[in-house]
Structure 1
Amino acid sequence: MGRWETFSPCAGHKEPTQVSAKITPLYELHKELGGNLVDFAGYLMPLRYGSETAEHHAVRTSAGIFDISHMGEIFVTGAQAAEALDHALVGLASALEAGRARYTMIVNSEGGVLDDLIVYRLSRHGFMVVANAANAGVVAEELKKRAEGFEAAVDDQSENYALIAVQGPRAQAVLERLTDADLAGLKYYTLISGTVGGVVSFIARTGYTGEDGFELFIHSEDAVTLWKKITEAGDGELTPCGLSARDTLRLEAGMPLYGHELTADLTPYDAGLGRVVRLEKDFVGRDALAAVAESGPSRRLVGLVARGRRVPRAGYAVIGDDGSPCGVVTSGAPSPTLGKPIAMAYVGIGSTPVAVDIRGKQEPVDVVDLPFYRRTDK
Structure 2
Amino acid sequence: MSGIKKLTLHDHHEIRGAKFTSFAGWNMPVSYGSSLNEHLAVRQSVGLFDVSHMGEIDVTGAQAEEFLNFALTNDLRRCNIGQAQYSLLCMENGGTVDDLIVYRRETDKFLLCVNAANTQTDYEALLDRSVGFDCEVKNLSSKFGQLAIQGPSAETILSSIIGEGLSSLPKMHFCEGNWMGNSSILSRTGYTGEDGFEIYCSQKELVNWVDAFENSQVCSVPWIGLAARDSLRLEAGFPLYGHELSLNISPVQAGLSWAIGWDKTNFVGRDALFEEKTKQPTHRVVHYLADDRRIPREGCQIMDPQSNLAGEVLSGGFSPLLKKPMGSALIKGTNWSCRTDNGWYALLRDNKIPIEIGLPALRGKSPKK
TM-score normalized by structure 2?
A: 0.94
Q: Which of 271, 274, 277 lines up with 1:293 in the alignment?
A: 277
The equivalences for 1:204-283 within 5 A come to 204-233=187-216, 236=219, 238-281=221-264, 282-283=266-267
The answer as to whether partners of 1:167 and 1:212 remain within 8 angstroms in 2 is yes
- Secondary structure of 1:177 counterpart: helix
The equivalences for 1:360-375 within 5 A come to 360-369=350-359, 371-374=360-363
Which amino acid in structure 2 is aligned with residue 294 of structure 1? T
Which amino acid in structure 2 is aligned with residue 341 of structure 1? P
| Structure-2 residue corresponding to 1:104 | 87
For residues 363 and 313 of structure 2, the distance between their equivalents in structure 1, rounded to whole angstroms, comes to: 22
| 1:339 maps to 2:328 | no
Aligned sequence identity (%):
38
Q: Deviations over 1:30-50 (max 9, x none)?
A: 111111111110011100011
For residues 361 and 9 of structure 2, the distance between their equivalents in structure 1, rounded to whole angstroms, comes to: 32
Q: Deviations over 1:194-245 (max 9, x none)?
A: 2445553100000000000000000011112211211211664521000000
Q: Which of 49, 53, 56 lines up with 2:32 in the alignment?
A: 49
- How far residue 363 of structure 1 moved from its aligned partner, in angstroms, is 1.2
| Structure-1 residue corresponding to 2:168 | 185
| Structure-1 residue corresponding to 2:298 | 314
- Secondary structure of 2:244 counterpart: coil
The answer as to whether partners of 2:6 and 2:28 remain within 8 angstroms in 1 is yes
Q: Deviations over 1:127-171 (max 9, x none)?
A: 001100000111111111111111100011000000000000011
The equivalences for 1:122-133 within 5 A come to 122-133=105-116
Q: Deviations over 1:86-141 (max 9, x none)?
A: 11001112331100010000001111000001000000110001100000111111
Which amino acid in structure 2 is aligned with residue 357 of structure 1? L
Unaligned runs of 5+ in 2: 365-369
Which amino acid in structure 2 is aligned with residue 40 of structure 1? F
User: Cα RMSD (Å) of the superposition?
Assistant: 1.5
For residues 182 and 71 of structure 1, the distance between their equivalents in structure 2, rounded to whole angstroms, comes to: 27
Q: Which of 48, 56, 75 lines up with 1:92 in the alignment?
A: 75
| 1:330 maps to 2:314 | yes
Q: Deviations over 1:56-111 (max 9, x none)?
A: 00000110000000111100001110001011001112331100010000001111
Which amino acid in structure 2 is aligned with residue 106 of structure 1? L
The answer as to whether partners of 1:170 and 1:237 remain within 8 angstroms in 2 is no
The answer as to whether partners of 2:186 and 2:198 remain within 8 angstroms in 1 is yes
Q: Which of 27, 47, 56 lines up with 1:73 in the alignment?
A: 56
For residues 217 and 129 of structure 2, the distance between their equivalents in structure 1, rounded to whole angstroms, comes to: 43
For residues 351 and 179 of structure 2, the distance between their equivalents in structure 1, rounded to whole angstroms, comes to: 52
For residues 175 and 261 of structure 2, the distance between their equivalents in structure 1, rounded to whole angstroms, comes to: 26
For residues 109 and 284 of structure 1, the distance between their equivalents in structure 2, rounded to whole angstroms, comes to: 5
| Structure-2 residue corresponding to 1:153 | 136
Unaligned runs of 5+ in 1: 1-17
For residues 274 and 130 of structure 2, the distance between their equivalents in structure 1, rounded to whole angstroms, comes to: 22
Which amino acid in structure 2 is aligned with residue 205 of structure 1? R
For residues 196 and 129 of structure 1, the distance between their equivalents in structure 2, rounded to whole angstroms, comes to: 22
Give the total of aligned pairs. Answer: 357
For residues 52 and 265 of structure 1, the distance between their equivalents in structure 2, rounded to whole angstroms, comes to: 31
The answer as to whether partners of 2:154 and 2:196 remain within 8 angstroms in 1 is yes
Which amino acid in structure 2 is aligned with residue 372 of structure 1? A
